Structure 1
Amino acid sequence: MPWHCPLPSGKRQRPSVAEQGPMASGTERGTEVASGPAACYRELSQFPAITSAALGAAAGGQTFLLYTECSRPDLHRRRLLRFSRHYSLRHVGGRGLAISRAALSAEIHNQLLSQHSPTGQHRAVLSRCPQQGHELLEVWGSSGRSHSVDLTALGKHGEVYTEGPFACLAWSHSETRLLYVAEKSRPKRCPPRPWDVPGAARPEEEEEEEESEQFVYHEDWGEALSTRSVPVLCVLDLEGSSLSVLEGIPEHLSPGQALWSPDDRGVVFVGWWHEPFRLGLSACSNRRSGIFHLDLASRRCELLSAERSATCSPRLSPDGQRLLYLEGDLGGPHRQCLRLRMLTWQTRQTVTVLDVVQEPTEAFAGLYTEVLPPRCWAADSRRAVLGTPQRSRTDLLLVDTEAATVTNLTAGSSEGCWELLTLQWDLLVATCSAPHHPPSLVVTVLPPAGQELPLFWVPVEDTPTVPGITWKTLTVRPPCSGQGPAAHDTQVFEALLLSPPDSMAPHPLVVCPHGGPCAVFDARWRPSMAALCRLGFAVLLVNYRGSLGFGQASINSLLSHVGEQDVADTQLAVEQALCSEPLDPHQLALLAGSHGAFIALHLLASQPKRYQACALRSPVSNLPALLGTSDIPDWRYASLGLPYSFERVPHAEDMATMLMRSPIAHAGRVQTPVLLCVGARDRRVSPMQALELYRVLRARGVPVRLLWYPEGGHVLAGVETEADIFGNCAHWLLRHLGQPWQGKTGQHSP
């Protein structure tokens, strides 16, 4: 049945206990705990993640079609299951919407990229042919497939970029051309010649020494982008059935995130400088880049943004008059508070709509998102909506670009993470979740300017709350050290505490400082953290100073103080939680990755008897060793307040400073059992870091185990890998902390 009840922001209908399926009662919950970590993780990982949405208009203008793409792990087949859902949305007066399922869910096969046209009447799909491995670009409409082009067979470029900072698939406004990014075509390697066989005679004309291209090194863009080296912009003309690689882009730039100019006569794109060499780009919004306009007729390339800045996410308003984009400073922290800039297309004048926020206020803490939603403009071409961390939440903000004002559309809602999927014809489609609530799909009508609040959300797919998990936000205030600006010394930070039922108190505590370090734990749904709670653990997610969402001053405060301030903040959050919450101070564990693992190792060395277990992913343990192995060597200098330049070589003093801040220098004091999980293909933190640490701990008799994933990268992604890591980490914690549910009143023992 269609739903047409408008609900206030943050207040949505919940299924009853009887509708919640296998997670209904406390007794059943105890039985699930007894079934172990694997079953618990399998159950909680089955809630779909909504990855994208698109709207199409039906006849009459009052009915719309909503298309969504979802994914969830298929643990039995060890792959990610992707599927689509279709809905019908109809205005029913005022702000009311009637919503009904328009078709059954359908699995998505071999699709790499898709994009609906501006009118929603066509859909472009990039897919890979499973038999030949060729990439096909097809266009579908109401009458079926209208175009199908074998891009691989044409041989004009390499693989199409389907994810990451370069990727795009953009329709022209006339809906006759498609714009995308692909790897530049390289000459194919020549097959072995007869005289290349040892002992064979070489023709006289071949005696002269040749310059071979076969083994020439080609730089790439680092972690998660190891197959991305030289991107090119490509245009498929649907009317002329022709494919072309655009010319006129300067040789020192790598283009991406492209879209069509208002008149379709040019292309707007982000260009990253790649000279003198490429630095890692994944999760790094501080790389030199600019917004450019390429005129297709004259091949003139014009820089639209500042000469020396880091820019991304150009978004053109519906009337074609304004271009929004994000801008940050070069160097320093890899992620930071960004500016929202706007360019008037006709005059080429640029203004700052929202500036960097040094100290957050209750109303606004700054912009920290690396990507603006593909469709974020309201129909009036004046307002825009975006999602960004605001302390330990991710909220939807409405920005009035003329008045330069911000309205938080989701502040105070019970969900802690909101993400905008699309905004078209003033229909706003979003997802929301919380640590105890898997993602739900919701929609609303954006009211006229000045009347946005309260916003009424209508549930499209509303998931049940997971029973047996509670959460809260803890505010932590560091003591004044008497050094530096007082504002920095007293800057507050936060931690999220997830807890099992009170009947199981006091809870063993798993402490999780996040990686980055310029990242944040927002209050979203995380199946692995929820599973730990279902196993009886409380979980503390620490947003130490330097985390995103708390102002640029907080981010800068960590520079020169890594390994000190972040470590002290994490321990302070632990001590405060132990004092105020029903936690067991004798059952503490650490679970972290990357820079979070760096913090955890420091805690193990400084307090060798405080923690009973530790499980780490992709740990940073030896800072100077990363200078020659990491795709982001600049951060090794910046994190310690040292200047970096491309031509810089390490000095003995720098190496000594880095070594003394490294956990490996203090590993002799570690006594806690440690589990290490690393990916052999990690480009950001060499797996040799974990191997070195493993050998040191093992030689000293510390219980240690190393899991080596041959195809894993830094984030250790993948259905099978993620499930295996959770299972091993959970068993490690249970082995060294004991079974949390044993001996607790009202709980079943295994």
Structure 2
Amino acid sequence: MGKAHLVKLNWLSCLPPSPSHLLSLTISPHSSTPALLRSSFSAPRSLSTKRSSAIQASMDASVSSSPKDLPVGLDAKTEEEYASLSSLLQEFTSIPNIDKAWTFKSNTGIGSQAMFSISQANLLANKRRKYALSANISKGSGNSVNFQWSPFPVEMTGVSTVVPSPSGSKLLVVRNPENESPTRFEIWNQGHVEKEFNIPQSVHGSVYCDGWFEGISWNSNETLLAYVAEEASTSKPTFNDSGYKKGGSADKDCGSWKGQGEWEEDWGETYAGKRQPALFLIDINSGQVQPVKGISKSLSVGQVVWAPSTQGLHQYLVFVGWSSNPRKLGIKYCYNRPCALYAVRAPVCASEANDLEIKESPNEDSPVLNLTQSISSAFFPSFSPDGRFLVFLSGRSSVDSGAHSATDSLHRIDWPVNGHLSSLKIIDVIPIVQSAEDGCFPGLYCSNFIPNPWLSDGCTMIVSSAWGSIQVILSVNVLSGDVSRISPTDSNFSWNLLTLDGDSIIAVFSSPVDVPQIRYGYLVDKEIKNAAWDWSDVSSPIFGCSAKVNSLLSCRQFTILKIPVKDVSECLTKGASKPFEAIFVSHQSKKNDVCDPLIVVLHGGPHSVSLSGFAKSYAFLSSLGYSLLIVNYRGSLGFGEEALQSLPGKVGSQDVNDVITAIDHVIDTGVASPSKIAVIGGSHGGFLTTHLIGQAPDKFVAAAARNPVCNLASMVGITDIPDWCYVETYGVAGKTKFTEAPSAEDLALFHSKSPISHISKVFAKIKGGGNRKPETYNFFPPSFSHIGRVKTPTIFVLGAQDLRVPFSNGLQYARALKERGVEVKILMFPNDVHAIERPQSDYEGFLNIAVWFNKVYLYVQPTMSCIRKFMSPISTVVLKQYAYSRHEHDNITVEASYFKRMETGLVPDRVSYHTLVMQKTWCLRWMKRVNWKWLEELYNEMTGLDVKPDVVVYGVLINAFADAESVEEALGYVDAMKRAGLPGNTVIYSSLIKLYTEVWCSKEAEETYKLLQPSESGPDAFSSNCKRLGRFEEAIQIAKQTRELGLLTDLLCYSNVLGLSALDGRWKEALGTFKEMVEASSQPDDYMFNSLGIALDQQKRRVKCTVFNLSSMTPLWSEFLQVSACDLLWFLTQLTLPPSEMR
């Protein structure tokens, strides 16, 4: 009965979808039943491959009638959906981004001018198209502002970066080559190109424009440019027909060839093949290029700026240096790489030299000074406009803890006017915030500085920073350390600082359901301390999107949820005990009180954050009718250092539990359905995705993983950040434990923390402790060795050039799922790195994810009006039974509490305990509860009072835990039976066979079946267990004998025979059994209706027909669903007709 009741809740929410979508469902390799439908009823998972192939062949035959060839993975039905979704996704993809912005003084002296650097996906070229758009800014009365946009943007073909000079009178345009061609520098004025220089590879390679090493800085006279570029390539050995050629050759010679030479290490992910970043200087009048000498070869340089002029002839350059000793670990997204600010004298250019060869500086190499020796991290240097201060960010919390990103701190150095740079004092401006009170500044989380972030007072900086799940704009006084949030506090939109216009701000704001818009901010009264900022809307042509996109987004809404931490303990810090956040995106109103399917979105890192800004890919998924739960679990940026540092050492447990807690929160508040949940994540988000479908396999109906971390033990030896594996596994101790040669103990721990452990988990201990020995006894097969739990259909999106989480990690996991019969799809993009952000790859990846989710959700989200017509009475039935079970559950709990309050001496007897155990189990199973702790406590109480459980209680417990696939607990009770000297019986054997087949342990299931055969079990037990083992012919023969012997007498027997016929595709026999049962006055239950639905579903997949014998069944279904027989017959007829004939 427990199984039948469990089925009803699932099946009634999973009516068969319209035939127009049926063929979009693929068949899992080990089953003849659609993958999602398998999770919705109690059917065996180890079905015969031969029979599965036959069913697949019959389906393929119906599809192959199409006259045209279809892409792999598509059929005639899904192709139409694929085309429709691709068109919609293209509309989202075409929405542009503003990458940078600058403002300049107007030529007329009135107002100002703004220039925006914009990018847009170019799917045909598989690149981002770059263009510039300008606007005149004028201010009217009452602080009103008007932007007059130029008629058309100008495309910047081949442009790598542009950098205006401080006065705005000149513009540097850099064009990096795509091969061994020279790098081109262009100097523009307002009307034309003034200078153009081609810098050959023998001088340096491409200029760094990556946003991290990148640094291009004009001097105050606007005659010199300091910049970071790849150092010149090293000489390679030359060979000819005589062997090695001494002296080599710089010229191409058809009679010789270049060897590879010594391998050159790079900075990992996105830097593959890029040479060491080095510092150069160019005179824009002569074109003379000089390397800045004196910098150690062990330092990679970046983020160069000119220091203010000081007393003396020499000017200094300030830059960031990263040491490469003992090796270059991956630096992309990793702020835990030690770095410092250095100062070096700028070389003196010989302006009279007019060639492009590097000239020797007339000065000797000057010493390079480390300005920040007392702090482990310093980057993003910025001088105040008057040159008094050098301000910089620090990631010392990342460096000191080993976390790849953490809370930033801001520091100041008072710059000496005399040029004496030794022993400079570092002053803390914004310290690391450990834990903040609600609504207070949570700490600094700043990804960059704009080129000129200073207000006119010379001591106030404007920066963007994460504040929980929101990006905000802050003003920071570098003298007092005062921090103010100046973007609106009454909005959950995220704000991104673009540029300053004097003392005003140009920014972009957006939300998950609102495309970006430009806002102009200004101080209401500059004379007042902490004056308020006012924000004006700016009409802009930049972010225009189609009417269809606007319409779809207009009916969506979002909110930021506070999720209380579950199971707060004393060992948690204050910050780690505070609620974390999740962004919930949903429809503005429920339709018929039915929740939309839910997609759980998980960010990577783990120390990053999902902000409440517009993300095109997720807005696309939301527009398809999905709710989104975007979880910022503890360990995310934006919530204080204590919360962040609570995660290292607990990955795979704390973060997973936070996600499950967030899901339970939206289910409990009635905004999400527990049967319609999918999950998506990339990198560490993929780590969580694959962990979740292993730790909570019944919670998710679909999953998508983008370059996921699936096996730390194999990743540690091939990733560019092996230290990450240690820190996230061991915690802070991992920083000192890190080694390039992991021990066996390290690898074992890495594996245990990995998602792949849930596919092939070695069973080492039994309930109560102690190592299990391979003993042979009457009801435990000795060869049991592994547990396989994962069953969620999963799509994998992988980049073949990923150095962070090499694709072999996700591929191994995907293959392991396929080996166990789980439905899997793999997309491999051969030229993509970790982010999978090339336009075509990002587009195709999310298109396939959407189709994947839609395919699965069709079984839980009716799309035809004729199906919706019957949802109301079905929901009523389900709600009544659910409420009844809750009522019974509460009654049993009350009875148990009264029972425990009885006077001393009145010890409950075995019968009382047995009744409680069985009733409680029945209710928990009906309610789909997965927490069986109450039963364990009751069992322990029984044994503690020396009330000995009998074989019935053990059977109930073993069967319950078998249903939950809790192998360890189920086998623990088997051991307890053995110790009690109780023999196995039919219930025990059947429960164990069910358990083993549920977790794909076919050998152990077969051995247990052998133990069942000598027993006095009835034919229904043999038949049902044959069915579980995939022995269909044997099971059907037993069923036939049962019928011939007149033993079809109860619901269980009828149910078993009907289920066999349905799964075997014998739909006529299934209908005959159903009719025979009704004529025998045996009341059908939900399992029977489910099996009959499967039979009809498979029948209509094979042939196109009208109603066959449905009229005789209609009164039965009609009575069960409480709808008219006429309407129901019409409904069933529609399900069996081809799409072209549906009305």
Residues 495 and 175 (structure 1 numbering): CA distance in 2 closer, same or farther, change over 3 Å? same
Aligned to 2:857: 737
Q: 2 CA distance for matches of 1:648 and 1:547?
A: 28
Q: 2 CA distance for matches of 1:744 and 1:455?
A: 49
Aligned 8 A contact 2:635 2:643 in 1:
yes
Aligned to 1:342: 412
Q: Which among 274, 279, 284 is matched to residue 238 of structure 1?
A: 284
| 1:81 paired to 2:133 | no
Aligned to 2:926: none
Aligned to 1:150: 198
Q: 2 CA distance for matches of 1:622 and 1:746?
A: 43
Aligned to 1:169: 216
Alignment of 1:163-562 (within 5 A): 163-189=210-236, 191-196=238-243, 214-263=260-309, 265-296=315-346, 299-329=366-396, 330=399, 331-346=401-416, 348-361=424-437, 362-414=439-491, 416-446=493-523, 448=526, 450-461=529-540, 463=543, 466-485=553-572, 487-488=574-575, 490-504=577-591, 505-562=594-651
Residues 677 and 608 (structure 1 numbering): CA distance in 2 closer, same or farther, change over 3 Å? same
Shift in Å, 1:35 = 6.9
Q: 2 CA distance for matches of 1:131 and 1:691?
A: 32
| Cα shift readout 1:463-497 (whole Å, capped 9, x = no counterpart) | 57631221111110112343403525522100001
| 1:725 paired to 2:845 | yes
| 1:593 paired to 2:677 | no
Q: 1 CA distance for matches of 2:83 and 2:595?
A: 22
Q: Which among 735, 746, 755 is matched to residue 654 of structure 1?
A: 746
Aligned 8 A contact 1:284 1:335 in 2:
yes
Shift in Å, 1:213 = 7.5
User: Matched residue of 2:378: which SS?
Assistant: strand
Q: Which among 599, 614, 619 is matched to residue 703 of structure 2?
A: 614
| Cα shift readout 1:645-690 (whole Å, capped 9, x = no counterpart) | 5656312222221111111111221011111111111111111111
Residues 373 and 581 (structure 1 numbering): CA distance in 2 closer, same or farther, change over 3 Å? farther
Aligned 8 A contact 2:495 2:510 in 1:
yes
User: Matched residue of 2:661: which SS?
Assistant: helix
Aligned 8 A contact 1:248 1:301 in 2:
yes
Aligned to 1:26: none
Shift in Å, 1:368 = 1.3
Residues 184 and 507 (structure 1 numbering): CA distance in 2 closer, same or farther, change over 3 Å? same
Q: 2 CA distance for matches of 1:94 and 1:732?
A: 53
**What letter matches 1:274 in structure 2?**
S
Q: Percent identity?
A: 28
Q: 1 CA distance for matches of 2:174 and 2:703?
A: 43
Q: 2 CA distance for matches of 1:455 and 1:245?
A: 47
Q: 2 CA distance for matches of 1:711 and 1:400?
A: 45
Between stretches 280-289 and 259-268, larger displacement belongs to: 259-268
Aligned to 1:208: none
Residues 402 and 653 (structure 1 numbering): CA distance in 2 closer, same or farther, change over 3 Å? same
**Rg (Cα) greater in structure:** 2
Shift in Å, 1:243 = 0.8
Aligned 8 A contact 1:680 1:709 in 2:
yes
Between stretches 264-273 and 446-455, larger displacement belongs to: 446-455
Residues 128 and 225 (structure 1 numbering): CA distance in 2 closer, same or farther, change over 3 Å? closer
Shift in Å, 1:729 = 0.5
Aligned to 2:826: 706
Between stretches 566-575 and 352-361, larger displacement belongs to: 352-361
**What letter matches 2:143 in structure 1?**
R
Shift in Å, 1:131 = 10
Shift in Å, 1:441 = 2.1
Shift in Å, 1:401 = 1.4
User: Matched residue of 1:716: which SS?
Assistant: coil
**What letter matches 2:160 in structure 1?**
L
User: Matched residue of 1:684: which SS?
Assistant: coil
**What letter matches 1:62 in structure 2?**
I
Shift in Å, 1:47 = 1.9
Shift in Å, 1:421 = 1.4
Residues 394 and 33 (structure 1 numbering): CA distance in 2 closer, same or farther, change over 3 Å? farther
Aligned to 1:692: 812
Aligned to 2:800: 680
Q: 2 CA distance for matches of 1:334 and 1:566?
A: 16
Between stretches 555-564 and 34-43, larger displacement belongs to: 34-43
Deviating beyond 6 angstroms after TM superposition, the runs of 4 or more aligned structure 1 residues are 32-35, 129-132, 744-747
Q: 2 CA distance for matches of 1:528 and 1:296?
A: 46
Q: 1 CA distance for matches of 2:235 and 2:335?
A: 34
Aligned 8 A contact 2:435 2:575 in 1:
no
Residues 258 and 486 (structure 1 numbering): CA distance in 2 closer, same or farther, change over 3 Å? closer
**What letter matches 2:226 in structure 1?**
L
Q: 2 CA distance for matches of 1:432 and 1:461?
A: 13
Aligned 8 A contact 1:335 1:368 in 2:
no
Structure 1 or 2: more helix by fraction: 2
| Cα shift readout 1:688-708 (whole Å, capped 9, x = no counterpart) | 111111221111111111111
Between stretches 632-641 and 566-575, larger displacement belongs to: 632-641
Q: 1 CA distance for matches of 2:816 and 2:480?
A: 59
Aligned 8 A contact 2:237 2:259 in 1:
no
Shift in Å, 1:75 = 3.1
| 1:644 paired to 2:723 | no
Between stretches 656-665 and 638-647, larger displacement belongs to: 638-647
Aligned 8 A contact 2:144 2:536 in 1:
no
Shift in Å, 1:228 = 3.0
Shift in Å, 1:744 = 7.0
| 1:110 paired to 2:158 | yes
Shift in Å, 1:180 = 1.1
Aligned to 1:29: none
Aligned 8 A contact 2:239 2:259 in 1:
no
Q: 2 CA distance for matches of 1:174 and 1:105?
A: 30
Unaligned runs of 5+ in 1: 1-31, 206-211
**What letter matches 2:433 in structure 1?**
V
**What letter matches 1:285 in structure 2?**
Y
Q: 2 CA distance for matches of 1:457 and 1:519?
A: 31
**What letter matches 1:660 in structure 2?**
S
Q: 1 CA distance for matches of 2:217 and 2:445?
A: 25
Q: 2 CA distance for matches of 1:293 and 1:120?
A: 26
Shift in Å, 1:93 = 4.4
Q: 2 CA distance for matches of 1:308 and 1:694?
A: 44
User: Matched residue of 2:746: which SS?
Assistant: helix
Shift in Å, 1:544 = 0.3
Aligned 8 A contact 1:289 1:310 in 2:
yes
Q: 2 CA distance for matches of 1:458 and 1:745?
A: 46
Aligned 8 A contact 2:519 2:535 in 1:
no
RMSD: 2.7
Q: 2 CA distance for matches of 1:737 and 1:420?
A: 39
**What letter matches 1:441 in structure 2?**
I
**What letter matches 1:288 in structure 2?**
P
Residues 105 and 307 (structure 1 numbering): CA distance in 2 closer, same or farther, change over 3 Å? same
Q: Which among 69, 79, 90 is matched to residue 117 of structure 2?
A: 69
**What letter matches 1:742 in structure 2?**
T
- If the length of structure 2 is used for normalisation, what is the TM-score? 0.59
Aligned to 1:42: 90
User: Matched residue of 1:320: which SS?
Assistant: coil
**What letter matches 2:849 in structure 1?**
C
Residues 442 and 421 (structure 1 numbering): CA distance in 2 closer, same or farther, change over 3 Å? same
